[in-house]
Amino acid sequence: MNAIEIKNLSKQFGSKQAVCGLDMTVPMGAIYGFIGENGSGKSTTEKMICGLLPIGGGSIKLYGKDYTDESVRSKVGVLIESPGCFPGLTVWDNLMLQAANLSVPNAEQEVIKVLKTVRMEGAAGNKYKNCSLGMKQRVGIAMALLGNPKLLVLDEPLNGLDADGMRILREVFLDVVRDGTRTIVISSHLLGELQKVATHYGIIRHGRMIAEMTADELDASCRTYVALQSGDMDRTKQLLFGKFSRVETDAAGDLRVYDATTPEEIVTYLYENGICVTSIRTDKIGLEEYYIDLMKGGKG
Ligand SMILES: Nc1ncnc2c1ncn2[C@@H]1O[C@H](COP(=O)(O)OP(=O)(O)OP(=O)(O)O)[C@@H](O)[C@H]1O
Ligand SMILES: [Mg+2]
């Protein structure tokens, strides 16, 4: 059974079609990276999944049941925009209040448990307003985890975090799904970060799902290339252009050769033409480049 199964979902705001005919499948246990440019309909879709917005058309099934079914609604934890925290109260009191709102049994133990999950045990006494952005995001995730939801929906949880904040959240996500009973949907523009944790991807454009794939499928469909540096990059570029059909300079200034080839072949060819290769490696394009290619209409 899938955690989420969406068919032909639509949503209109006045004359604006925010989501149109969207299909989405999120298997149980997945960390599903939900990707799309600004205004493509990610938050709107997530709000409908969480029951925060009524759907315009189509269907959303959560664990096989309609998204309005009470028995599945209580299994969804959500962090969209900022968590509804009281700034003057401590992290602990905010979580206890939320636990009371949700009638969570054994509230104290549960709050301790979620604080531990988000690595905030030591900061329970901090006032929410004095928390750093990274801590606030983690409090939001702790709030979403109260009531032990099977599905977590997080809208841009990595935004604005520094490298350490992102690393901690990645660990939190992996912990949350570790026993296989929980599923997370994460929308994010930080594709490099997403790629470190996501098991599945969905790419939305103009309110439609244009590609869904597993991390393995992405890996298999991403082209390999040989990246190199030499003592004379201009001459090297000329030589490679003459021999291989796709040669590009990447953001790091390396020359990339995309055709199926080996570093040995390139080194030999350049050596025969008087060029000494100073560094060479094979690699694959990542999610970010795949995504950009897809948006340009290429195949990734
Ligand atoms: N409440 C609303 N009223 C009117 N239009 C809305 C409303 N909410 C969203 N929209 C519009 O619907 C479209 C999709 O918005 P949405 O917020 O879902 O995109 P998004 O993919 O989350 O974008 P971002 O990456 O910027 O967060 C946008 O054109 C947006 O302006
Ligand atoms: Mg959004």
Domain containing residue 234: CATH number? 3.30.70
Which of 9, 15, 16 to mutate for ligand 1's pocket (most ligand atoms within 8 Å of CB)? 16
**DSSP assigned state of 123:** G
Query: Of 116-130, 192-206, 280-294, which gets the smallest average pLDDT?
Result: 280-294
Phi-psi group of 156: left, alpha or beta (phi > 0 → left; psi -120 to 50 → alpha; rest → beta): left
Q: Is residue 141 part of a domain?
A: yes
Domain assignment present for 295 = no
Q: Report the alpha-carbon distance of residue 140 to residue 135 in Å, rounded.
A: 9
In a domain, 157, yes or no: yes
Of 36, 239, 42, 7, nearest to 154 by C-alpha is: 42
Instruction: Tell me, yes or no, whether 140 and 193 share the same domain.
Output: yes
- Are residues 208 and 130 located together in one domain of the fold? yes
Q: For residue range 27-85, list pLDDT tens digits in order.
A: 999 999 999 999 999 999 999 999 999 999 999 999 999 999 999 988 999 999 878 89
Q: For the chain, what is the domain count?
A: 2
CB contact set of 146 (below 8 Å; sequence gap of 6+): 77, 95, 98, 99, 102, 104, 110, 111, 114
298 has pLDDT over 70 = no
SS3 category, 20: strand
Report residue 223's pLDDT band, with 50, 70 and 90 as the boundaries.
confident
65 with 188, same domain?
yes
Instruction: Tell whether 187 and 229 lie within a shared domain.
Output: no
Supply the angle between the helices 107-117 and 163-177 in degrees, to the nearest 10.
130
Could you tell me the distance, in angstroms and rounded to a whole number, from the CA of residue 231 to the centre of ligand 1?
A: 49
Residue range 156-183, pLDDT digits in tens: 999 888 898 899 999 999 999 999 999 9
Q: How far is Cα 247 from Cα 148, in angstroms, rounded to an integer?
A: 51
d(CA 263, ligand 1 centre) in Å: 46
Percent of the chain past pLDDT 90, that is, above it, reads 81
- 95 with 84: CB under 8 angstroms? no
* Whole-number percent of the chain with pLDDT over 70: 99
Are 172 and 191 in a shared domain? Answer: yes
- pTM, full prediction: 0.86
- Residue whose C-alpha is closest to residue 29's, from 144, 197, 194: 197
> Domain containing 258: what range?
223-284
**Mutation probe of ligand 1 site: the residue of 43, 45, 159 with most atoms within 8 A of C-beta:** 43
Kindly state whether residues 154 and 117 are assigned to the same domain: yes
Assign residue 33 a region (left: φ > 0; alpha: ψ between -120 and 50; beta: otherwise).
Answer: beta
Question: Based on the domain organization, do 278 and 202 belong to the same domain?
Answer: no
